[in-house]
Structures are given as structure tokens and as C-alpha cells.
Structure 1
Amino acid sequence: MGVEGTVVGGGDSLKKKITLRNGVTLIVGNIIGSGIFLTPTAVLFASGSPALSLLSWSFAGLFSLIGAICYAELGTTIVKSGASYAYILEAFGEFIAFLRLWISVLVIEPTVQATIAITFGQYLLQPFNAYCEPDMLSTRLVAAACIFSIMYVNCINVRYGTRLTDVFAYAKVAALIVLIFTGLFYLFFTSSGQVANFTTGAWTNSKYDPLSIVIGLYQGLFSYSGWDTLNFLVEELQDPFVNMPKAIWISMPIVIIIYVAINVAYLAVLTPAEIMSSSALANDMATRTLGPIGGICVPIAVAMSCWGGLNSSMMASSRLFMVGSREGHLPRWISMITFKGNSGTPAPAMIFTGLLTILYLLVPNVFDLVNYYSFTYWLTVGLSVAGQIYLRYTEPDRARPIKFSLAWPIIFTLMCTILIVVPLITQPVDTLIGCGMMFSGIIPWFLWKKTDWLNSCGCIKAFANGCERILGSITRTLQLLLPVIPGKLADE
């Protein structure tokens, strides 16, 4: 998986086209996806009461903010795209970094993106299927079209992708603000507002046992995932030492305030029982407050939110795969970038990301695959921040343009440890399957390393050499078909 065939050209680096505004909208756009329209049901179910659910949302936001500031230090100390993969590689070496990349290719990235794309298809088709659910084939064809559109736009120019991210981030924030003010109006200026959710019934049925509290936090954190988006694209960020922390300090408070406020709006309109039994929370709220027009507008707004979130997610994961390829952990052709004009886009990595996601649309129960990655996701994020602590002690004199108190990474690592333990208790089978998927990367790792005992096996050696020849042919063919050359770091 390292060197394959002959590549033409001396290499080029990605262009720094991402501004501070783009950075803010990338983070906001990736975090605010379909989760905020689906997860409040699970958070309230785990918490038991309106007040405790709002505390769960607030604490999940603060926890995500701590993670983001830890990543701000990591992203300006190790100025490589790829986020946790790059940080684990720097702190703990190739083997653990390869396993992190392996589970990302196998489960995390394509599964998350496929579920977002399917949700996009479901909500976009919903206004045309008022009395029934859209069928699976139609939904997945629309999902595939969504993925192809994002792939096409981002292959042309990075700026096109970031501009669309800007537009969709503004639109989804505006839509959520409309829902928030609608809910508040319903609470204060109509007789049907659920005042009891904030007064006599605020703490009713609260679940104070530690496991329920952590599960509520766990569910809330799912909707906050994406706070590390900018770390995947740091090589393309203008003035990263200034703009990365600024983008985090601007975007994260915006998301936290919106998330808590929209949950207040849900509780202002619906009873806890209605929220916990709802399969389309925002739609139910809008239909009650705005009438039939709400049932049409909200699905379109959710679909729009999904498109923007998927765009940000695919931009981030394509850079992860590009960096993994550049380090020799994925086929070489994935790290190539375009040189025609001034585009400088990782088009092969974006194509790889898009096609991999479309492949996962063929899995009938793709939503079930999400259950397998929670353990490995928090394990890799926790390892990244543990690596930050490790590098503080092993390389104390290393240049750190941004340096926060060591208390923050310690707190975050301890919390990640709790989040790693929770699925072992609540979903032991799914967690073990996820672990098995991650550690299945040991086999390709040894094949790539070509250890002596593997080389002594003729069939395995022949298989590995055959794979290299095929990948080499792909690399050369790609250079003939597309204006691409090998990618490299800007300072190489």
C-alpha cells in the first residue's frame, strides 16, 4: 500500500483557500446536520425530565468545546490535515494510526455519510409522500444523487465547496432560529404552550443514576460530533495559528446556544411523552404551530441541513484519506491533487470518499452500522488528546503557537474513558463487533509491512505483489485521465 508504480510530477501542496468565515461555517455546518432533529427524543428518554435533558445538552456542548480547544492546540502544533489520525501518528506511531484509519475507511466515515445522505433523501421526498414513507429505492437514489453532486462540486474547486457550505450553514441556522422563535411565541403568547415543562413538571421523572446521566450525555454528544472538522482541513486554512482558535470560539458557542434553544422550543410546544414517541420531532412541532405549511417547509429545511452537513463531512473525510495515502497507509493515487489552473483540490480522495459512501447505500441496514463505531470513535479521539498530554512531557520544548492549561486535556481524556466504558455496558455485542472491525486492520498492516514470515509464504507474497501491480496501474491511469500529481505538505 506504499509505493505503487510510477507517478509523474514532483508533487504539489493544497492551496490555502479556507478563510475564517469558511472555517466557522464548516464547523457549524458539519455539527448541525440531522442529529438535532432526531436525537432530542433519545436524550429526553435517557434523562427522564425536561430540565435534566436541557442540562445534558448544555454539558454535552461544554464537553465538545473542551475537546475543540484541545484540538486547537493539536492542530496548531501538528499542522497536518487528518485530525486524530495525524495526531495519533505523531504521538504513538504508525500501527495505532493505521488502525484508526482502517476503522474510518471500513465503518466510521462511509456509515455516517451514508446515513446523512439517506436522511436527506427521506426528508426531501417526504412532502411528496404525505400519507406514506418514501420507498427505499427512491430514497437511496436521491441519496446517491446528493453524494454525486457534492463530489462533483468539490472536485472542481475547494472554493465552490466552501461557498456552498457557507450558504447552507446560514440557511440551516436561519431555519432553526425560526423554529426557536416559533416555539417561544407558542409558549408565551398562546394558551397551548407547555408551561408545565418549565415549572411544575420540569424535574418530573428525572433519572439521577450515573448510567442514565452518561447515556443522556452520550446521545447529546452524537449531535455535537463535527467540532473537529477544521482539523481535517488545517493545511488549507489561511493563517491557521490565528484562524483555527477563532473559528472554534465563534462556532461552538453558536451551536451550543442554538441546540439548547431549539430543545427549549420543542419542550414549549410538545409534552415529554409526545417528544419521546415522535419519529419526526421538528415536523411534529412545526405542524402544530404553523399548520400544514410547517409540514412542508420543515422536511425541506432538514434535507437542506443534511446536504450542508454531508458536504462538510465529505470534505473532512476526503482529507483524512488523502493524508493517510500520503503517509503510505492507503493507495498512493488517493493522495494526488489537481494542478489544472489554481484548483489544487484532492479530487481522487473526494472521488474515493463519494464512491465508498455510495457503496454503503447498498447495505440494507446501514443505520445499524452506526452502533459499531461509537466505542472506536471515542477511543481514537481520547487517544489523540492523550497524545497531546504525552507530547507535552516528551517534547516540552516543541513550538506550540497555542497552549492551553494541561487540565483541559486531562479532563477530556478522563471523560472519553467514561464514554468508552458506557457502550461496553449498554451495547457489549455491538462494541465487540466494532472492536473486531478495528483490529481486523492488523492483517492488512502486516501485509503492507511485508514481514519476513509473510514473505516466506509464496501465495501471500504473490497476492501482495498482485495488489501492488493493480494499484500501480490505477495510479498511472488516473494521471492519464485527470490533471493530478502527487500531493505533499506545503513545507516539503
Structure 2
Amino acid sequence: MGKQEQSEPLNQQPAEQQHDEDVGDKGLEKSMTLFNGVSIIVGCIIGSGIFISPTGIQAQAGSVGLSLIVWVLSGIFAAIGAYCYAELGTLIRKSGGDYAYIMEAFGPFLAFLRLWIESIVVRPCTATIVALTFAIYMLKPFYPDCDPPPLSTELIAALLLVLLTAVNCISVKWANKVQDIFFVAKVAALILIIFTGLWNLVSGKPQARDSFENIFENTAKDFQTASLAFYSGLFAYQGWNYLNFIVEELQNPKRNLPLSIAISCSLCTIIYTLTNVALYTSISPDEMLASPAVAVLFAEKNYGWFAFCMPIFVACSTIGSANGVILTSSRLFYCGAREGQMPNVLTMVNKQTKTPIPAVILTGLLSLIYLLLSNNIYSLINYIQVSYWIAIGGAILALFYFRKSMSDAPRAVKAPIIFPIFFIGCVLLVLVPVLGNPKDTAIGILIMLSGVPVYILFIAWKGKPKFIDSLTDSVTVFTQKLFMVVDANKED
């Protein structure tokens, strides 16, 4: 893969010598403001999850009261994790998120396993699922009572993935504008639901308070079942750590990273909780269990002919989410290549657009490949959830490590010592699926370990035949000429 001599420690200079203007790579422009940071995190968190998870949480929690508690606790849990990541992100100001932190703390092998499962499977699959959700909701107004024509959903999803890949290749500023626009659109959609729900309560609409009369009726008695509701809630909050993957492009990261995280997590928790309260003013728990498209059902009950707006709002939400995944995922490839764990060509950027075009295109291509396997993607995502929380737990362990190894380094953010207990929560989120569904968990671990032979063959093996290096060099030169890219870590 990349040149091994590039695999140097991520934090060679003392922290006090790492000025913001020098931290980023020469080829990546610090173009992201505080508002961009907030829009990226909120844009990644608020996607299709808020429109899908209410049904899953209600099914596992059993009662309205426990469902709302799960939404609040999931937000608090995500905020604690994000605050720990803020300390990591301001201490080691390298893009790559938990991959960078695991690399620095535990070395290249464990870091590569994290890179492998996240960049090759998790992110591309996520972008594909979000694109499919966009296509389904866009077609729903045209086919309200029947399924759309064969392959129409996949075609629209593919067009969205190609379009967003092109935008992210052309300009970081364009990608940020897409994120900002649809960030506003998705928040506006949820605010519309919230105010409609409040109006239902204030105006005394019949049955608006019915769901809240016996709020804890039918609460799940089984701890394992109730914990699965919490797992579903955290799925809706995924994305809280994505800004750490592009911290080098964030202006004044010591200030803007923790602020972006604090604002985003608070905003999402409030919006999610109030949205669910609003949904219950029109939809009973039984109706919620029967309808996975709860936002559409809510619109049909409240907006009359204007109900067609909700599928459009959901589509806007998914566009922003897919764009955020592509924007941050390509940077993960970029960081892996810079450390010698992905082909060196993925470190290269176009000097005019300041974008890592090869990495962006690879992300888009992988998403399109998974689109061909769309019938199996949902099972695949279930398989790799366990590796997601193993990686998060590894990053929190790295925080403990840095508290000792870099105890004197100045920290713009320092999480209270109780916050890293977040690690225990990560362990539980790994153990619960092991007990509840050992088969899927075993498959997920096997997928993660599939990176081991790749690491041995392409990274650890020093005496590879010369023709492999020659072939790699030829592909690199061809890609440079095709996309007009150069190594971002070199002056010329």
C-alpha cells in the first residue's frame, strides 16, 4: 500500500508547538467555520434515523414513557462520548478521528483494523442505505398505493451518490454549502413536526394527550429487551464523532471543535425528544408499531393535501446525511493513506479544488458497489455494529493512555474523569448483542478480522516482489494525470 516510511507517530511535536495554522496538511484548506462544523455533525446525525428509530424504540421499550427516556439518555450518552472526543481532537489535531487516536496509542495494527472496517464497509454501506432511503421517499408521492417500478429506486439512489461524489470532488466549499442547505431543511422539517405537536396539545385536539395518560403502561420488564431500545436510540445519534475526521480543515479547532460538538449534541437531543413527543400527539403506540414511516403517517393526519411535503423533507434530510458521510469518509481514506495503510495515491489532492479527489471517488465507487447488493446491506450493517462500538471503546481507552503519556500537554478541553466511564457503556453495547444475537455478532467480528490478512500481505510484508511496487507506481502516475492531483504532503 502506501510508503512505510510515512507511518510516523501522529503527534511528533509537543502539543504547545502545534499551531492551528501548521497542523493541517499543506494540501487541505482550513475552510470550515463553526457553523460548518455544527451543520456537518447535525447533518450526519439527523438523517433517516429519526424517521425510522421511533418504531424500533417503541417496540423494544414497550411504553411511551420509557421511549422518551431512551431518546434523552441516548443523547446524553452520545454527548459524553463527543466531549471525550473533543479532548482527543484538540490534543491530537490530526484528521482521522478514532483511527488517528488508536494509531497513536496502540500502534498501526489495531489502527488498521479500525480503518478497514470503517472505510471499506461501514461508511460506504451507510451512504448507500441513506441514498436508498432518499429514493424511496422521493418516489412515494408518485406511487402512494403501490411499489415503484423495478430498479427505479436503485437508479435514483445511484444518481444521488454520483452527484454527491462529484460535488465533493469539485469543491470543499460546495460540499459545505450542500451540507448547510440541507441542514437547514432537515431541521425545518423536524421543527414543523414539533410545532404541530405543540399546537395539538395546546389547542386540545381530541386524543392528543391519550398517549401520555398511562405513560409507563406496558413498559418492558426484561432488561435485555429494554437495552435493545437504547441500542436503537444510539443508532439515530450516530455521526456525533464525524467532525473529528476532518479536524485539520476546521478553522481554530481548539475553539470550534468543542463548541461544534456541544451545540450539535444539545440541539439534536432537544429536537429528537420534542419530535417524538409531537409524534405521540397524533400517533398511538400501536399505530407507531404498525407504520415504519411514522413521519408520513403524522403528515397525513395533520396536513391534509399538504402531506406530500413530508416525503420531500425526509428526502432533503437524507441528502445532507449522505453528503456528510461521503465528505468525512473520503478524509478517512486520505488519513489512512498518509500513514502508509492505504495506497499512497489516496493522499493526493487537486491543487485547485483542494479536495482529495481519488479518496472521494473511491468512497463513491464503494457505495455504488454496495448498491448492487442492496438486498443484503441491512444485514451487513447489523453485522458490523459490534465493531463500531469496539472502535469507540478503543478511542476512549486511548484517552486514558494520553492522560498518562501526555499528562503535561495543554488541553483546550479536558473531560471530567467520570466521562471516560463512557468506556463501560461501550463494553455493554458490545456484550448485549453477543448475548442477544451471537450469530450476527460472530459474523461482525469475522468481518473486522478479515483485515488481518490484508495487513499482513500489503503492510507488514517487507519483501514483496518488485513487480507489485512497479504496478502500484504505474497506477499512481495514471491517477495523478487523470485527476491532476499531487501529493499533499510535498511542497511540489
Deviation at 1:152, TM superposition (A): 1.0
Q: In structure 2, what is the equivalent of residue 482 of structure 1?
A: 483
**Residue 379 (structure 1) aligned to one of 378, 381, 390:** 390
SS in 2 for 1:26: helix
Q: Which residue does 1:8 correspond to in 2?
A: none
Q: One-letter code of the match for 2:56?
A: A
* Partner-residue secondary structure (3-state), 2:148: coil
User: Aligned partner of 1:322: which letter?
Assistant: Y
CA shift for structure 1 position 190: 4.6
Q: Is 2:279 the partner of 1:266?
A: yes
Q: Which amino acid aligns with 1:248?
A: I
1:137 corresponds to which residue? 151
**Equivalences for 1:221-370 in 2 at 5 Å?**
221-294=234-307, 296-340=308-352, 343-363=353-373, 364-370=375-381
* Residues 40-74 of structure 1: CA deviation (Å, up to 9, x unaligned): 00101111100110000000000000011000000
Partners of 2:269 and 2:223 in 1: CA distance: 23
SS in 2 for 1:269: coil
Quickly say closer, same or farther: Cα 1:270–1:61, change in 2 above 3 A: same
SS at match of 1:337: strand
The runs of 5 or more residues in structure 1 that have no matched partner are 5-10, 456-460
Question: Deviation string for 1:341-383 (max 9, x for gaps)?
Answer: xx31111111111111011100032222111111000000111
C-alpha distance in 2, partners of 1:135/1:426? 37
| CA distance in 1 between partners of 2:490 and 2:438 (Å) | 41
Distance in 2 of aligned mates of 1:380 and 1:241: 24
Give the equivalent residue in structure 2 for 1:182.
Answer: 196
In 1, Cα distance between equivalents of 2:457 and 2:26? 29
CA distance in 1 between partners of 2:26 and 2:244 (Å): 20
Q: Which residue in the other structure is 2:443 paired with? A: 433
Structure 1 CA distance for aligned equivalents of residues 490 and 164 of structure 2: 25
Asked whether 1:390 is paired with 2:390, we answer: no
Matches of 2:98 and 2:346, distance apart in 1: 19
**Matched residue SS, 2:372:** coil
Residue of structure 2 aligned with 1:203, choices 195, 216, 234: 216
What is the TM-score of this pair, normalised by structure 1? 0.92
Tell me the secondary structure at the aligned position of residue 457 of structure 2.
helix
Distance 2:377 2:468 in 1: 28
Contact 1:115 1:366 in 2 (8 A): yes
User: Which residue pairs with 2:88 in the alignment?
Assistant: 74
Matched residues in 1 for 2:467 and 2:140: separation?
48
Whole-angstrom CA distance in 1 between matches of 2:174 and 2:167: 6
Q: Which string of whole-angstrom CA distances, capped at 9 and with x for unpartnered residues, describes residues 221-270 of structure 1? A: 00000011210110000000001111111111111100000100111111
Is residue 44 of structure 1 aligned with residue 28 of structure 2?
no
User: Deviation of residue 395 (structure 1)?
Assistant: 2.6
- Structure-2 residue corresponding to 1:2: 2
* Distance change >3 Å, CA 25–CA 136, structure 1 → 2: farther
The answer to whether the aligner puts 1:445 opposite 2:458 as a matched pair is no
The size of the alignment, in residue pairs, is 471
Structure 2-normalised TM-score? Answer: 0.92
Partner secondary structure for residue 323 of structure 1 = helix
Match of 2:17 in 1: none
Secondary structure of 1:40's partner? helix
Note if contact 1:99-1:442 (Cα within 8 Å) is conserved in structure 2.
yes
Amino acid aligned to 1:357: S
The question of 1:155 aligning with 2:156 is answered no
Identity across the alignment (%): 42
d(CA) in 2 for partners of 1:22 and 1:278? Answer: 34
Question: 2:471 is aligned with what amino acid?
Answer: I
CA shift, 1:291, in A, is: 1.8
Unaligned runs of 5+ in 2: 5-24
Q: CA deviation at 1:489?
A: 9.6
Aligned-partner SS, 1:485: strand
- Which deviations, in whole Å up to 9, do the C-alpha atoms of 1:151-193 show, x marking residues without a partner? 1111111111111111110111011101111122223325433
Matches of 2:287 and 2:369, distance apart in 1: 36
TM-superposed CA distance for 1:207, in Å, is 1.2
Q: 2:414 maps to which residue? A: 403
Q: Whole-Å Cα distance in 2 between the matches of residues 178 and 142 of structure 1? A: 27
1:212 to partner: Cα distance? 2.2
